[in-house]
């Protein structure tokens, strides 16, 4: 395990434990979240060493990779995904110019497949070799290993997308430096993240499924991601709700809490979360942040 002694957002060296959560998906072990004493950013601490992180992704239930149709939640997830994919495409079309798109953490390639059909020039990075093979077989997409991020030419990309991926990335500073280098001056950065200031996060506490320890290394609030991005010369253009996530995360959280599906209760808590967010500072369960570069 690796102890993090500096806040990944502000660099402060003091942090306090705020929550202990179980890894429900793979190991069954407990992990801790600490909060920075200065800026309040929450992060998983200690966390697995970088070369051990991949051990925590070995689960059939890790649906974004395996496309498993087993279980009602996975089936609902796949249905919702087709709706969500179109919505993501529309968001990109609305908020960016240019067609050179880089999707980081492309998973099984479903988002890039939709973008390719819409005329985008697509490049995808994905650490998991099985997922890359799936993308090639099913969509004819040649995703590259994540290390290739270091080889992408400067100013060669119009759009970078990371859909629920940045919270998994070990070295945030390396990523933001690269965003800046590879993006065209008029490029846009789309980052989707869970928000632990949402109502569903408050309702479920340590059972909240979007803590997803230890796979999620960081637990960004709106101010945290804005603060980090601003340090690299990015400014926020928009923060858009992902309303279906409130339902999906509530379903998983109910299962963590009670050991079985409680769909009706999950539905009401998802709705409660979305209604609360509309009235309270946009604190949805998940948000898409769109950043542009300062000139
Ligand atoms: Zn901090």
- Between CA 180 and CA 149 the distance in angstroms is 12
State how many domains the chain has: 1
Q: What is the pLDDT of residues 78-91, one digit of tens each?
A: 788 889 999 999 99
Q: Mean pLDDT in the chain?
A: 94
Higher pLDDT, 31 or 261: 31
- pTM of the entire predicted model: 0.94
Question: Is the pLDDT confidence value at 62 over 80?
Answer: no
Report CA(42)–ligand 1 centroid distance (Å): 8
Report CA(43)–ligand 1 centroid distance (Å): 10
Q: What is the mean pLDDT of residues 164-177?
A: 97
Question: Is the pLDDT confidence value at 40 over 60?
Answer: yes
CA 174 to chain centroid: 17
Q: What is the mean pLDDT of residues 108-127?
A: 97
Domain that holds residue 135: 60-293
Q: Is 28 contained in some domain?
A: no
Q: Is 207 contained in some domain?
A: yes
Report CA(57)–ligand 1 centroid distance (Å): 28
Q: Is 254 contained in some domain?
A: yes
Q: Is 263 contained in some domain?
A: yes
Question: Is the pLDDT confidence value at 162 over 60?
Answer: yes
CATH number of the domain that residue 251 is part of:
3.40.50.150
Q: Is 229 contained in some domain?
A: yes
Report CA(44)–ligand 1 centroid distance (Å): 13
Report CA(173)–ligand 1 centroid distance (Å): 14
Report CA(240)–ligand 1 centroid distance (Å): 24
Q: What is the pLDDT of residues 226-280, one digit of tens each?
A: 999 999 999 999 999 999 999 999 999 999 999 988 999 999 999 999 999 999 8
Q: Is 234 contained in some domain?
A: yes
Short-list 29, 32, 31, CA closest to 17: 32
Short-list 90, 75, 95, 79, CA closest to 244: 79
Q: Is 54 contained in some domain?
A: no
Q: Is 66 contained in some domain?
A: yes
């Amino acid at each position: 395990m690796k102890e993090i002694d500096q806040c990944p957002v502000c660099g402060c060296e003091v942090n306090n434990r705020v929550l202990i959560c179980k890894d429900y998906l793979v190991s069954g072990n407990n992990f801790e979240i600490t909060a920075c004493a200065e800026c309040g950013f929450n992060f998983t601490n200690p966390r697995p060493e970088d070369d051990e992180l991949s051990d925590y992704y070995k689960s059939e239930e890790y649906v974004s990779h395996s496309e498993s149709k087993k279980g009602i939640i996975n089936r609902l997830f796949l249905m919702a995904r087709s709706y969500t994919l179109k919505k993501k495409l529309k968001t990109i079309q609305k908020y960016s110019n240019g067609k050179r798109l880089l999707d980081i953490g492309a998973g099984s390639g479903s988002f890039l497949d939709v973008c390719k059909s819409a005329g985008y020039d697509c490049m995808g990075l994905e650490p998991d070799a099985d997922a890359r093979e799936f993308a090639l077989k099913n969509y004819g997409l040649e995703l590259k290993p994540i290390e290739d991020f270091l080889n992408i030419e400067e100013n060669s990309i119009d759009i970078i997308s990371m859909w629920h991926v940045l919270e998994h990335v070990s070295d945030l500073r390396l990523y933001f430096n690269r965003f800046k280098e590879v993006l065209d001056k008029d490029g846009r950065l789309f980052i989707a993240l869970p928000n632990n200031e949402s109502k569903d996060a408050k309702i479920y506490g340590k059972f909240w499924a979007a803590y997803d320890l230890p796979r999620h290394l960081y637990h960004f609030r709106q101010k945290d991601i804005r603060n980090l991005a601003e340090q690299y010369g990015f400014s926020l253009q928009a923060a858009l709700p992902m309303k279906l996530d409130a339902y999906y995360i509530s379903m998983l959280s109910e299962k963590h809490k009670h050991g079985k599906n409680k769909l009706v209760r999950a539905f009401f808590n998802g709705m409660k979360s979305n209604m609360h967010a509309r009235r309270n500072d946009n604190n949805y369960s998940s948000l898409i942040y769109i950043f542009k570069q300062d000139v």
